Amino acid sequence: MSRDMYRQRILDHYRDPQNYGTIDDPDVTYEDVNPSCGDEIQMYAVVDENDEIQDVKFDGQGCAISQASASLLTEEVKGMTLDEVRQLETDDIKEMLGIELSPVRVKCAVLGLKVLEGGIVEYEKEN
């Protein structure tokens, strides 16, 4: 039953996402869409001299799963190094969410991570 997916925690993050908004002049920024459904996410992060994430925000639109995942992700990655973020995988996202997901919804769940990692790749290219 996918109804189980919609736990209170997920719905809270969907309705009231953490770290939602933009950062002026971010070190890391990137956006992408999930072509199969149109969900869009943009990520912004500020990185210190040790490559640690000082601040991170996201905006965009999409389903409860993609928005809640992005929200949970931003909470998780604050204080992590860029390297640590790049180690994160689909399974880590699933764990943060704590729910079962069908293959289609996994794509929603990892969109935020994909975008953040895309931003890190760009950032590292430039620095």
Partner 1 sequence: MSVEKASPYNVDEVRDDFPVLNRTVDGEKLVYLDNAATSQKPQSVIDAVSEFYEEYNANVHRGLHTLSQEASEAYENAHDRVAEFIGADGRENVVFTSNTTEGVNAVAFGWGMHHVDEGDNIVLTQMEHHSSLVPWQQVAQANDAELRFLKVDEGVVEEGEVEEKIDEDTAAVSVVHMSNVFGTVTPVKDIIDRAHEHGARVLVDGAQSVPHMPVDVGEMNADFFVTSGHKMCGPTGSGVLYGKTEAFHETQPYQYGGEMIKLVEYEEATWTDLPWRFEAGTPNIAQGIGLAAAVDYLEDLGMEKIHEHEREVTRHALEMMEDDDEVTVYGPSSDHENRGGVISFNVSDAHAHDTSELLSDEGVATRSGHHCAQPLMREMGVPATTRASFYLYNTYEEAEALVEGIETVKEVFA
Interacting residues toward partner 1 by CB under 8 A? 1-3, 5-6, 11, 14-15, 33, 35-40, 61-65, 67, 102-105, 108
Q: Which of 58, 52, 56, 55 is nearest to 80 (CA)?
A: 52
Please state the closest distance from residue 33 (CB atom) to partner 1, in A: 6
Please state the closest distance from residue 36 (CB atom) to partner 1, in A: 5
Instruction: For partner 1, give the closer residue by CB, 53 or 108.
Output: 108
Dihedral angle, C-alpha 41, 44, 49, 52, nearest 10 °: -50
Q: Residue 126: which H helix or E strand, with range?
A: helix 103-126
Burial of 52 (0-12, 13-18, 19+ CB in 10 A): middle
Please state the closest distance from residue 81 (CB atom) to partner 1, in A: 29
Instruction: For partner 1, give the closer residue by CB, 63 or 80.
Output: 63
Instruction: For partner 1, give the closer residue by CB, 57 or 105.
Output: 105
